[in-house]
Amino acid sequence: MRAPMVAANWKMNGSKAICREFLQHFDADGSLDVVLFPPFLYTSILIEGFAERSISVGVQNVSNVSSGAYTGEISAEMAVDSGATYGLVGHSERRNLFGESDGLVAEKFIACQRAGLTPVLCVGESLDERQEGRAESVVAGQIDVILKSVGIKAFANAVIAYEPVWAIGTGETARPDQAQSMHAFIRAFLTKSDATTAKNTRVLYGGSVNANTAAELFAEGDIDGGLVGGASLEFKEFAKICRAISR
Ligand code: PEP
């Protein structure tokens, strides 16, 4: 049985005041895994504040190397040292705005697991790729890079987030049947390597999820929860999204 998960990607948004609001008012009932991905500067406040509650904190990015003369970078080991437990890798904003290649994404995925962070691997096609009928092959390719460098064991402790690029931050959520179809494809793709791992791997949906769209998406059999951007900054809205998942 896959435990449901709802994760918040604050991107480069948030403040100490928003952290305090979450610490004062946000809680989750333990029937699902909740992970907050604030900007790295705010991780410690949330990690310490949520220490007694079942809410995890992750980092939005890690370096592919452990330490050294890499000004501005943060390693997965440092994230673990500060108490983070998850690392986002392969987000389309990192791929498209910061030129992260599939190879670098794989290195960051490996760096997370080496340090003890659970990677949340983001995959997804652009609008052009979908319109050209290449959505599945693009997503399969993004997963295959990890399979080729680590093998299927990579997914024994990892989460996949399917985030169609055309739905991120656009207000256009994928239809539940569209998302379910890609999630089922991802599971079938993993099954070719190992059926048990495929059955146990959580696949989240991300792309303009909000309190109105969450329940229908989360009701689909292969959608194990969500990775939420814009709607995760407001604790009441995010709490509603978390409540929309019931398994
Ligand atoms: C994201 O950044 O991962 C995301 C899904 O953003 P939004 O919910 O704002 O589309």
Asked whether 125 and 179 are in contact (CB, 8 A), the reply is no
Report the run of H or E that residue 86 belongs to, with start and end. strand 86-89
Task: Kindly report the average pLDDT of the chain as a whole number.
Answer: 97
Closest CA to 91 of 145, 147, 43, 163: 163
**Dist. CA 218 → ligand 1 center (Å):** 16
Percent of the chain with pLDDT over 70: 99
Report the run of H or E that residue 71 belongs to, with start and end. none
Can you name the CATH fold of 5-246? TIM Barrel (3.20.20)
Q: Is the CB–ligand 1 distance for residue 230 below 6 Å?
A: yes
**Dist. CA 145 → ligand 1 center (Å):** 23
Q: Is the CB–ligand 1 distance for residue 120 below 6 Å?
A: no
Output the CA–CA distances (angstroms, integers) from residue 34 to 7, 26, 128, 232, 243, in the order listed. Answer: 6, 11, 32, 11, 11
Torsion region of 83: left, alpha or beta (phi above 0 gives left; psi -120 to 50 gives alpha): left
In 3-state terms, what secondary structure has residue 178? helix
Amino acid identity at 36 = L
Is 91 a catalytic site residue?
yes
**Dist. CA 8 → ligand 1 center (Å):** 9
pLDDT the model gives residue 78: 98
Is 25 a catalytic site residue?
no
pLDDT the model gives residue 30: 83
- Taking residues 98-107, report their average pLDDT: 97
In 3-state terms, what secondary structure has residue 199? helix
Asked whether 8 and 210 are in contact (CB, 8 A), the reply is no
**Dist. CA 55 → ligand 1 center (Å):** 19
pLDDT the model gives residue 246: 67
Domain ranges of the chain: 5-246
- Taking residues 181-210, report their average pLDDT: 98
- pLDDT of residue 99 exceeding 70: yes
Instruction: Please give the Cα distance from 173 to 177 (Å, whole number).
Output: 11
Question: pTM of the full predicted structure?
Answer: 0.97
pLDDT the model gives residue 1: 79
> For 35-81, how does the pLDDT look when each residue is reduced to its tens digit (9 = 90+)?
999 999 999 999 999 999 989 999 999 999 999 999 999 999 999 99
Closest CA to 98 of 118, 132, 73: 73
Nearest Cα residue to atom 4 of ligand 1: 229
- pLDDT of residue 247 exceeding 60: no
Instruction: Please give the Cα distance from 201 to 159 (Å, whole number).
Output: 6
Residue 51, token pair as written in the block: 């220490």
Nearest Cα residue to atom 7 of ligand 1: 229
Angle 147-153-158 (CA atoms, 0-180°, nearest 5)?
A: 85
> For 141-173, how does the pLDDT look when each residue is reduced to its tens digit (9 = 90+)?
999 999 999 999 999 999 999 999 999 999 999
